[in-house]
């Protein structure tokens, strides 16, 4: 498939090309012990853990299971999260940095052991993880990170080379990490949860909470059905309910991209990611019945709704793949949205200090394969009233003055800038200028609007004002979506919600 052929289509993720289970929509009020909102890695794992303990669980998903960030990952299972441990030690000390590492290693072990014990064929393979630098500046930072590894007892080593034609300055390996097919694993877990009594409802959008001060709060769906529970676990990527936790002000959304390519050259093993910009991630996955290897090349991060034309990020990854692996053929391309917290660690626990019956898990940065698993275990321990070493470390109510205060000010100044910019933007186009397959901000009847003309010539016009807090959305050419540059909400070209925090669709503009 050529670049031009590929870019004319919507993204296609390799992970979802398996048979996935389907479930009915919730059509009545129900009462359960635990309601879980969001059927991604955290929601499904928590449903599995709690159901096997005899807890009555309802798992609610706004769309179809495993179609969010979990289905659009590079699927590395590792505690190597870029250049992070030296930073953690400097901000929080060695003890908390060691707990962070330990919690992610336990998540890796859970995937490995559970897939073995339950006979889930998920293409798991042990791999060393590697961060590498192509500049002298980051080579020195890698040396500092290696010093942090030694302080924390992390099994790793420095190297001056990696097995690709990339000129590097330094590389740091973390041994005995892993990779897998996330949807094969989580489909297996979901089937186990259902066998243990978990009820799953697709196309069931949680919109709000009622009776939040009571012992049994209620989740209210878009259709008006109510799910009453002793505990509500919010694992909907961005929390659908904020509860005065101000999560929209304590996180920002970032997009990144991936392509899947076939290559005739033998892959040497391992998982690699550059620490310089633009970032480059490299791994393989078994592909097809003949046991071919599909290379997954990722990178090109930017804040949602901001930056250059999004299709150029795929082009940059393809150029890198061609130069490095000698291939020009893309079999798959997809993107993901990640939420980054003020101190770069997830928020997992009670949504606020005073709302202990409503638990949240969010802000996994780009490492949801381990963070999502540890979050499920931590939330389950809250439900079961069990002690857990990591409750304080990941508490959503924490505030680490350095760097949280600086990042809070920076993030919200960025929001204010984009809020003003969108309102003052000059728009030269009108809907009649749009070609088939083209989307853009346009002027219609003297007002800013979002226009998209599909391949058959049908025009879709929406009000680009985000229904979350009123920022103006921008057109995402690569995904054919309207993306909010303030808090990361995303909408289809027809205005439907693709990603929160927004809950309501963009308003239609009548021709």
Q: What is the mean pLDDT of residues 313-328?
A: 87
Please work out, in degrees rounded to the nearest 5, the angle formed at the alpha carbon of residue 81 by the alpha carbons of 372 and 164: 120
pLDDT tens digits, residue range 433-460?
888 988 888 888 888 899 999 989 999 9
| pLDDT of the residue at 276 | 92
| pLDDT of the residue at 200 | 98
Sequence-ordered list of residues with C-beta below 8 angstroms from that of 296, at least 6 positions apart, any chain: 14, 74, 75, 258, 259, 260, 281, 282, 283, 284, 285
- Specify the residue for token string 């709000």: 208
Question: What domains does the chain contain, in order, with CATH numbers?
Answer: 425-499 (2.102.10.10)
Q: Rounded distance, CA 201 to CA 220, Å?
A: 14
Structure tokens at 385: 């009233």
| pLDDT of the residue at 162 | 95
Percent of the chain with pLDDT over 90: 65
Greater model confidence, 492 or 264? 492
Q: Judge whether 139 and 133 are in contact, CB under 8 Å.
A: yes
Q: Rounded distance, CA 206 to CA 199, Å?
A: 15
pLDDT tens digits, residue range 483-496?
998 888 999 999 99
Structure tokens at 479: 């995904």
Beta strands 30-37 and 57-60 are: parallel
pLDDT above 50: residue 482: yes
Phi and psi for 392 in degrees, rounded to 5?
-70, -40
Q: What is the mean pLDDT of residues 315-343?
A: 87
| pLDDT of the residue at 82 | 94
Q: What is the mean pLDDT of residues 188-211?
A: 96
| pLDDT of the residue at 5 | 36
Confidence of residue 307 (pLDDT cuts 50, 70, 90): confident
pLDDT tens digits, residue range 120-149?
999 999 999 999 999 999 999 999 999 999
To the nearest whole number, what is the mean pLDDT of the chain? 89
Phi and psi for 20 in degrees, rounded to 5?
-110, 145
Structure tokens at 409: 């000010």
Q: Judge whether 67 and 40 are in contact, CB under 8 Å.
A: no
Instruction: Burial-class residue 162 by CB neighbours within 10 Å (0-12, 13-18, 19+).
Output: middle
Confidence of residue 37 (pLDDT cuts 50, 70, 90): very high
Confidence of residue 199 (pLDDT cuts 50, 70, 90): very high
Q: Judge whether 70 and 333 are in contact, CB under 8 Å.
A: no
| pLDDT of the residue at 511 | 67
- CA dist list (Å): 324 to 69, 73, 152, 320, 321: 27, 22, 34, 6, 5
**Residue 278, preceding peptide bond in cis (omega within 30° of 0):** yes
pLDDT tens digits, residue range 415-430?
555 455 555 565 677 8
| pLDDT of the residue at 2 | 36
What is this structure's pTM?
Answer: 0.89
Q: How is 100-131 classified by DSSP, letter by letter? A: HHHHHHHHHHHHHHHHHHTT-----EEEEEEE
Q: Judge whether 379 and 393 are in contact, CB under 8 Å.
A: no
| pLDDT of the residue at 317 | 92
pLDDT above 90: residue 108: yes
Confidence of residue 61 (pLDDT cuts 50, 70, 90): very high
């Amino acid at each position: 498939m050529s670049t031009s052929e590929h870019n004319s289509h919507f993204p296609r993720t390799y992970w979802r090309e398996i048979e996935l289970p389907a479930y009915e929509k919730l059509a009545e009020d129900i009462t359960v012990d635990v309601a879980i909102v969001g059927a991604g890695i955290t929601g499904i794992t928590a449903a599995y853990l709690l159901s096997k303990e005899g807890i009555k669980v309802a798992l609610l998903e706004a769309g179809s299971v495993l179609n969010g960030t979990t289905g659009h990952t590079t699927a590395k299972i590792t505690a190597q999260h870029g250049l992070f441990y030296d930073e953690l030690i400097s901000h929080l000390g060695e003890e908390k940095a060691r707990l962070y590492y330990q919690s992610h290693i336990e998540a890796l072990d859970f995937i490995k052991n559970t897939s073995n014990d339950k006979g889930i064929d998920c293409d798991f393979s042990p791999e060393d993880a590697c961060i590498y630098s192509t500049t002298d500046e980051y080579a020195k930072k890698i040396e500092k990170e290696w010093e942090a590894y030694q302080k924390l007892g992390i099994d790793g080593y420095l190297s001056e080379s990696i097995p690709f034609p990339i000129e590097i300055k330094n590389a740091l390996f973390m041994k005995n990490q892993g990779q897998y097919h996330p949807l094969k694993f989580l489909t297996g877990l979901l089937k186990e949860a259902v066998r243990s009594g978990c009820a799953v409802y697709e196309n069931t959008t949680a919109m709000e909470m009622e009776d939040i001060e009571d012992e049994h709060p209620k989740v209210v769906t878009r259709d008006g059905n109510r799910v009453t529970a002793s505990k509500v676990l919010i694992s909907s990527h961005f929390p659908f309910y904020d509860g005065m936790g101000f999560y929209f002000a304590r996180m920002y959304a970032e997009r990144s991209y991936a392509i899947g390519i076939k290559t005739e050259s033998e892959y040497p093993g391992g998982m690699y990611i550059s620490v310089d910009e633009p970032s480059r991630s490299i791994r393989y996955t078994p592909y097809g019945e003949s046991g071919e290897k599909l290379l997954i090349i990722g990178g090109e991060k930017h804040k949602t709704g901001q930056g250059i034309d999004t299709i150029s990020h795929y082009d940059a990854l393809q150029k890198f793949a061609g130069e490095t692996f000698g291939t020009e053929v893309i079999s798959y391309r997809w993107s993901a949205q990640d939420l980054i917290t003020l101190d770069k660690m997830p928020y997992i626990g009670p949504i606020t200090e005073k709302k202990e019956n409503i638990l949240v898990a969010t802000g996994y940065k780009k490492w949801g394969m381990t963070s999502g698993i540890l979050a499920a275990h931590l939330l389950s321990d809250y439900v079961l009233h069990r002690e857990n070493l990591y409750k304080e470390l990941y508490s959503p109510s924490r505030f680490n003055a350095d760097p949280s205060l600086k990042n809070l000010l920076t993030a919200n100044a960025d929001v204010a800038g984009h809020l003003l910019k969108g309102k003052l933007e000059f728009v030269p186009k009108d809907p009649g200028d749009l070609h088939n397959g083209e989307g853009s901000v346009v002027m219609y009847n003297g007002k800013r609007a979002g226009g998209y003309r599909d391949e058959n010539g049908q025009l879709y016009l929406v009000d680009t004002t985000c229904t979350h807090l009123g920022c103006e959305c921008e057109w995402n050419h690569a995904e054919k979506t309207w993306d909010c540059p303030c808090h990361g909400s995303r909408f289809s070209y027809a205005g439907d919600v693709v990603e929160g925090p927004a809950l309501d669709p963009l308003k239609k503009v009548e021709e």
